[in-house]
Amino acid sequence: MKVDELRVLEEDELGGRLKAARRELYELRFKHAVGQLENSSQISKVRHDIARIMTVLREREFGIVAQVAPDAATAVAVAEPEESAAEPEAAEDAKPKRGRAKVTKTNTEKSS
Protein backbone atom coordinates (compact mmCIF):
# COMPACT_ATOMS: atom_id res chain seq x y z
CA MET A 1 0.00 0.00 0.00
CA LYS A 2 1.48 3.33 -1.06
CA VAL A 3 0.90 6.74 0.48
CA ASP A 4 -0.27 8.19 -2.83
CA GLU A 5 -3.00 5.54 -2.98
CA LEU A 6 -4.11 6.46 0.54
CA ARG A 7 -4.20 10.20 -0.09
CA VAL A 8 -6.91 9.87 -2.75
CA LEU A 9 -9.24 7.95 -0.41
CA GLU A 10 -12.00 9.54 1.63
CA GLU A 11 -11.71 9.80 5.40
CA ASP A 12 -14.28 7.09 6.10
CA GLU A 13 -12.49 4.71 3.71
CA LEU A 14 -9.23 5.41 5.51
CA GLY A 15 -10.93 4.68 8.82
CA GLY A 16 -12.16 1.36 7.47
CA ARG A 17 -8.71 0.44 6.21
CA LEU A 18 -7.18 1.42 9.54
CA LYS A 19 -9.65 -0.77 11.40
CA ALA A 20 -8.98 -3.69 9.05
CA ALA A 21 -5.21 -3.28 9.35
CA ARG A 22 -5.39 -3.21 13.15
CA ARG A 23 -7.51 -6.34 13.10
CA GLU A 24 -5.01 -8.03 10.78
CA LEU A 25 -2.15 -7.05 13.10
CA TYR A 26 -4.03 -8.54 16.04
CA GLU A 27 -4.51 -11.80 14.16
CA LEU A 28 -0.87 -11.92 13.05
CA ARG A 29 0.34 -11.37 16.60
CA PHE A 30 -1.95 -14.14 17.82
CA LYS A 31 -0.69 -16.53 15.15
CA HIS A 32 2.89 -15.62 16.03
CA ALA A 33 2.29 -16.34 19.72
CA VAL A 34 0.73 -19.71 18.93
CA GLY A 35 3.48 -20.58 16.45
CA GLN A 36 1.33 -20.70 13.31
CA LEU A 37 2.85 -17.67 11.59
CA GLU A 38 5.26 -18.68 8.82
CA ASN A 39 6.47 -15.23 7.78
CA SER A 40 6.96 -12.90 10.75
CA SER A 41 7.88 -9.98 8.48
CA GLN A 42 4.17 -9.60 7.77
CA ILE A 43 3.79 -8.04 11.22
CA SER A 44 6.15 -5.17 10.42
CA LYS A 45 4.52 -4.64 7.00
CA VAL A 46 1.09 -4.27 8.59
CA ARG A 47 2.53 -1.94 11.25
CA HIS A 48 4.00 0.25 8.49
CA ASP A 49 0.64 0.29 6.69
CA ILE A 50 -1.06 1.41 9.89
CA ALA A 51 1.52 4.17 10.29
CA ARG A 52 0.96 5.35 6.72
CA ILE A 53 -2.80 5.51 7.20
CA MET A 54 -2.44 7.39 10.47
CA THR A 55 0.01 9.81 8.84
CA VAL A 56 -2.46 10.66 6.07
CA LEU A 57 -5.22 11.16 8.64
CA ARG A 58 -2.98 13.47 10.73
CA GLU A 59 -1.97 15.45 7.63
CA ARG A 60 -5.61 16.12 6.91
CA GLU A 61 -6.25 17.05 10.53
CA PHE A 62 -3.44 19.62 10.44
CA GLY A 63 -4.46 20.95 7.03
CA ILE A 64 -1.41 19.70 5.15
CA VAL A 65 -2.46 19.23 1.54
CA ALA A 66 -0.53 16.83 -0.66
CA GLN A 67 -0.92 17.13 -4.41
CA VAL A 68 0.29 14.69 -7.03
CA ALA A 69 2.28 16.50 -9.73
CA PRO A 70 1.76 15.60 -13.41
CA ASP A 71 5.24 14.04 -13.66
CA ALA A 72 4.31 11.58 -10.84
CA ALA A 73 6.49 13.40 -8.30
CA THR A 74 4.74 14.42 -5.13
CA ALA A 75 4.72 18.07 -4.15
CA VAL A 76 3.54 18.93 -0.68
CA ALA A 77 2.01 22.30 0.09
CA VAL A 78 1.88 23.10 3.78
CA ALA A 79 -0.75 25.47 5.11
CA GLU A 80 1.09 27.34 7.85
CA PRO A 81 -0.54 29.88 10.11
CA GLU A 82 0.53 33.44 9.43
CA GLU A 83 2.48 35.35 12.06
CA SER A 84 1.44 38.83 12.96
CA ALA A 85 3.87 41.58 11.99
CA ALA A 86 4.01 42.83 15.58
CA GLU A 87 5.48 39.61 17.05
CA PRO A 88 8.18 38.14 14.78
CA GLU A 89 10.76 38.04 17.59
CA ALA A 90 8.44 36.11 19.93
CA ALA A 91 8.08 33.34 17.36
CA GLU A 92 11.85 32.99 17.02
CA ASP A 93 12.34 32.86 20.78
CA ALA A 94 9.91 29.94 20.99
CA LYS A 95 12.03 27.77 18.66
CA PRO A 96 14.22 25.24 20.44
CA LYS A 97 17.95 25.78 20.24
CA ARG A 98 20.12 23.08 18.73
CA GLY A 99 23.41 22.02 20.15
CA ARG A 100 25.05 23.08 23.37
CA ALA A 101 25.92 26.62 24.22
CA LYS A 102 29.62 27.21 24.73
CA VAL A 103 30.60 28.46 28.15
CA THR A 104 33.50 30.86 28.13
CA LYS A 105 35.34 32.19 31.12
CA THR A 106 35.65 35.89 31.66
CA ASN A 107 39.03 37.52 32.21
CA THR A 108 38.55 37.57 35.99
CA GLU A 109 37.72 33.87 36.09
CA LYS A 110 40.78 32.99 33.95
CA SER A 111 43.23 34.73 36.28
CA SER A 112 42.00 33.02 39.46
Whether 52 and 7 have beta carbons less than 8 Å apart is answered as: no
Q: Residue 37 is part of which domain span?
A: 3-77
pLDDT average, residue stretch 48-60: 96
Q: Is residue 20 part of a domain?
A: yes
pTM of the entire structure?
0.59
pLDDT the model gives residue 1: 74
Signed CA dihedral, 84, 87, 91, 94: sign only: negative
Q: Is residue 90 part of a domain?
A: no
pLDDT-based confidence at residue 106 (cuts at 50, 70, 90): low
Q: Is residue 73 part of a domain?
A: yes
More confident: 2 or 91: 2
CATH number of the domain to which 47 belongs: 1.10.287.310
Among residues 65, 56, 74, the alpha carbon closest in space to that of 14 is found at 56
Q: Is residue 47 part of a domain?
A: yes
Signed CA dihedral, 60, 62, 63, 65: sign only: negative
**Residue 27 in this model has a pLDDT that exceeds 60:** yes
Q: Domain tally for the chain?
A: 1
